[in-house]
Amino acid sequence: MTKAMTPPVPAPTPPGKQKFQFARYQDLALVPVIVLLLVVGSVLSPIFLTSGNLIAVLTQQSELSLLVLGQAMILVVGKMDLSLESTVGLAPALAVALIIPASSGGLGVGLAAWLALPLCLLIGVVIGGLNGFLILKVGLSGFMVTLGMLTMLRGLQLAITEGKSLIDVPESFLYLGSTTWLGLPAAVWICIVCYAAGIFVLKYLRAGRSLYAIGGNSEAARAAGIRVDRVVWLVLVIGSVLAVVAGILMTGRLGSVAATQGEGMIFQVFAAAVIGGISLQGGKGTLFGALSGVLMLGLVEQILRLQGVSGFYIKASYGAVIILALIVTRFATGQKQE
């Protein structure tokens, strides 16, 4: 890579001691906040720092974190996908309905049970692909397309299930939703693997770096030889597939597909991503930051719950915390969020 640079001049050795630059550590901005929340939580409740409680927090946040992972990448390329939350419900519901007999609320197609997982993932690919087609090829507004898709997919799920929960869930879903590997729930492992892969790709692979170039200036990215449409399309598909995985884990954990599965999650997804430093304008933010946004929201929720805050207030406090977190991030980073 460097050998081609011309005319060849030896690179000056970078100065050993550099001034501390806050911008370089911006994705670590929430780490102190998370530590603070852990301290506050343990002061308020003796069981807070137990592994059982912390694993519970991680498990609760695993599905949200996968959605945030997908959305963060989509936001970095400068798009957004509101339909992710409906995909969480529709994909498992449709796959399950194609497998279980009509007597349990299925469609009567009766596909083999082992098809459940591949079918689900395929549905994710189709939804993401369709979003990409409408946005990139037809040239529609991403916001409006995915808003339409949000409503349509949710409606489709209600139509298929006639508004009922599907309780005859395939073994494979239940396994993923309930098993533990090496003491951690499978869902948590899946998140760890997905985030590790995502962080690696966005940091060390050219394809991953191209997301930032596209989100920062898509014309410049194109002029630099990046296949902009292809990358954006792929990111939309990956986002949908991650939403499907979240849906599978949720189905397995709860043992059924509720008609409202995933409903309302998109707001938390955006909140976690933005708190984690992902710019809604595109081109900025890291997946580690997004993950710390998810963890922060999870810890806050758990603290409120352990304090016995009434369910009626928990939602309001949660919203207030999101706004508070945004204010804190705004001043910690010194940048307007717009």
CA distance 128 to 260: 20
Q: Applying CB under 8 A, does 5 fall inside the site for another protein? A: yes
Within 61-120, the residues that bind another protein by CB under 8 A are none
Q: Applying CB under 8 A, does 219 fall inside the site for another protein? A: yes
To the nearest whole angstrom, how small is the minimum distance from the Cβ of residue 133 to another protein?
20
Number of neighbouring beta carbons within 10 Å of residue 216:
17
Indicate the residue among 209 and 305 with the shorter CB distance to another protein: 209
Q: In angstroms, how far is the first alpha carbon of the chain from the final one? A: 37
Identify whether the C-beta of residue 330 lies closer than 8 Å to the C-beta of residue 336: yes
Identify whether the C-beta of residue 243 lies closer than 8 Å to the C-beta of residue 91: yes
User: Is the C-alpha dihedral spanning 213, 76, 79, 123 positive or negative?
Assistant: positive
Q: Applying CB under 8 A, does 51 fall inside the site for another protein? A: no
Q: Applying CB under 8 A, does 221 fall inside the site for another protein? A: yes
Indicate the residue among 204 and 331 with the shorter CB distance to another protein: 204
| Structure tokens that stand for 167 in this block | 């309780």
To the nearest whole angstrom, how small is the minimum distance from the Cβ of residue 228 to another protein?
10
Q: Applying CB under 8 A, does 338 fall inside the site for another protein? A: no
How many residues make contact with another protein (CB under 8 A)?
38
180-181 and 184-185 as β-strands: parallel, antiparallel, unpaired? Answer: antiparallel
Identify whether the C-beta of residue 84 lies closer than 8 Å to the C-beta of residue 269: yes
To the nearest whole angstrom, how small is the minimum distance from the Cβ of residue 41 to another protein?
35
Which among 58, 33, 66 has a CA at the least distance from the CA of 269?
A: 66
To the nearest whole angstrom, how small is the minimum distance from the Cβ of residue 10 to another protein?
7
Residues whose CB falls within 8 Å of the CB of residue 204, separated by 6 or more in sequence, listed in order: none
**Which one of 136, 209, 317, 332 is in contact with another protein (CB under 8 A)?**
209
* Angle, vertex CA 191, rays to CA 210 and CA 317, nearest 5: 100
Indicate the residue among 1 and 182 with the shorter CB distance to another protein: 1
Burial of 81 (0-12, 13-18, 19+ CB in 10 A): buried
To the nearest whole angstrom, how small is the minimum distance from the Cβ of residue 284 to another protein?
6
Q: Between 264 and 303, how does the x/- string for binding to another protein read (CB under 8 A)?
A: -------------------xx-------------------
- Choose one: 16-24, 58-66, 81-89, 307-315; the region binding another protein (CB under 8 A): 16-24
- Choose one: 136-144, 222-230, 235-243, 321-329; the region binding another protein (CB under 8 A): 222-230
Number of neighbouring beta carbons within 10 Å of residue 21:
8
To the nearest whole angstrom, how small is the minimum distance from the Cβ of residue 107 to another protein?
42
Q: Applying CB under 8 A, does 212 fall inside the site for another protein? A: yes
* Angle, vertex CA 138, rays to CA 137 and CA 141, nearest 5: 105
Identify whether the C-beta of residue 274 lies closer than 8 Å to the C-beta of residue 255: no
- Choose one: 155-163, 198-206, 259-267, 294-302; the region binding another protein (CB under 8 A): 198-206
Q: Distances in Å between the alpha carbon of 93 and those of 99, 163, 166, 196?
A: 10, 11, 7, 29
**Which one of 16, 21, 264, 311 is in contact with another protein (CB under 8 A)?**
21
Q: Applying CB under 8 A, does 203 fall inside the site for another protein? A: yes
Q: Applying CB under 8 A, does 205 fall inside the site for another protein? A: yes
Give the binding site for another protein (CB under 8 A).
1-2, 4-12, 14-15, 18, 21, 24, 203-209, 212-213, 216-217, 219-227, 283-284
